[in-house]
Amino acid sequence: MDESVFQAYEGEIRALEEEIRLLTEEYEDIQQESTFYSDEEILKSIKLLQSETQGETKEHESLSDLQAQLESLETDLLFLTELTGFQFTSHSKKTVEKTRDRTVRKHKLSGKCLSLSFQLEFQLLEMQNNEEVSAVVSDLRIIMESREDSNVSKFVSSTEEHNDLLTFFTSLSTYAEWYEHRKRTFLHFKAKYPDIVTLPEGLLGDFMILRNPKLSGFELMIVWKIHLDEEGSTTPVLDLLTKVPEQVLQQRMRSLEGLPSSFRSALRLLGIEAAIENLITVLGSGK
């Protein structure tokens, strides 16, 4: 490509950069409209850029470099998603106030942490003092499907009250991991012991029932709660409840009364999966 053509492209690039700058300022400072960029829109833009630049060899090489950078960023994003469990599906922001050293923007964010969906709204105050930039979150609002759980509801209310966005993300990650672990465990035992294990509320429930077809009316209920306190600490709480026919209860009162205590001891010694496995094995061998 000769120098005159190269200079012409440079002029077009500078003109486009100036136009982008003016449009950005008008967008943020005058119109103050919400922005929204979905993964689908970004991919469409990339494909459009590809189709418009395939004609020029130099431009095609530049596009290849950009494509390589994009693939690298997507790899990094996938790694972070797998590491943290977070996947953001939408984001919009609106400039509420902007001065020389102070900017206030309202953000709306939605996404998932593993299988738990959430929506956030908050204001972010960015202040610049010399070369230092600080940010303060305010007006935090959180919407979660699992807020029906009283513990989750209390945690969300406390987090909103303190505008503690960092605690929300770190605590939700741990809570979601236990939530997924419980579902996987329930699914494993249901698949392995379909004649013994039932899930009345499905994989989203917090208990499962164990029955031996040979022991009519006798059943065990493993209750698995996931406690999330107001400070954001997550604790799994498991217990065993028994349903025993009257005649069986009279014959084996002492051994059956100690069953929940034995199960709790097994949890401490063996762990959750091994304790449940041991309980199912014992129940399945009953006559």
Query: How much is the pLDDT for 286?
Result: 59
Residue 36, pLDDT above cutoff 50: no
Last residue of a domain, one of 175, 196, 214: 175
The percent of residues in the chain predicted with pLDDT above 90, rounded, is 41
Query: How much is the pLDDT for 222?
Result: 95
Burial of 181 (0-12, 13-18, 19+ CB in 10 A): middle
Examine the domain organization and report whether 214 and 166 are in the same domain. Answer: no
Mean pLDDT of the 111-118 span: 90
Tell me the average pLDDT of the chain.
80
Query: How much is the pLDDT for 34?
Result: 42
Task: Give 186 or 151, the one with higher predicted confidence.
Answer: 186
Examine the domain organization and report whether 190 and 258 are in the same domain. Answer: yes
Mean pLDDT of the 253-272 span: 81
Residue 247, pLDDT above cutoff 50: yes
Examine the domain organization and report whether 194 and 143 are in the same domain. Answer: no
Mean pLDDT of the 108-116 span: 90
Query: How much is the pLDDT for 35?
Result: 45
Examine the domain organization and report whether 190 and 138 are in the same domain. Answer: no
Residue 113 to residues 145, 173, 180: CA-CA distances in angstroms? 12, 6, 10
Residue 52, pLDDT above cutoff 70: no
Residue 164, pLDDT above cutoff 90: yes
Residue 58, pLDDT above cutoff 60: no
Give the total number of structural domains in the chain: 2
Residue 94, pLDDT above cutoff 70: yes
- What predicted TM-score, i.e. pTM, was given to this entire model? 0.69
Does residue 196 sit within a domain? yes
Residue 6, pLDDT above cutoff 60: no
Residue 84, pLDDT above cutoff 60: yes
Query: How much is the pLDDT for 50?
Result: 60
Does residue 96 sit within a domain? yes
Residue 126: domain span: 81-175
Examine the domain organization and report whether 199 and 145 are in the same domain. Answer: no
Residue 68: band (very low, low, confident or very high) from pLDDT cuts 50, 70, 90: confident
By DSSP bridging, strand 207-211 and strand 102-113 are unpaired
Does residue 134 sit within a domain? yes
HEC readout, 56-124: CHHHHHHHHHHHHHHHHHHHHHHHHHHHHCEEEEEEEEEEEEECCCEEEEEEEEEEEECCEEEEEEEEE
Residue 162: band (very low, low, confident or very high) from pLDDT cuts 50, 70, 90: very high
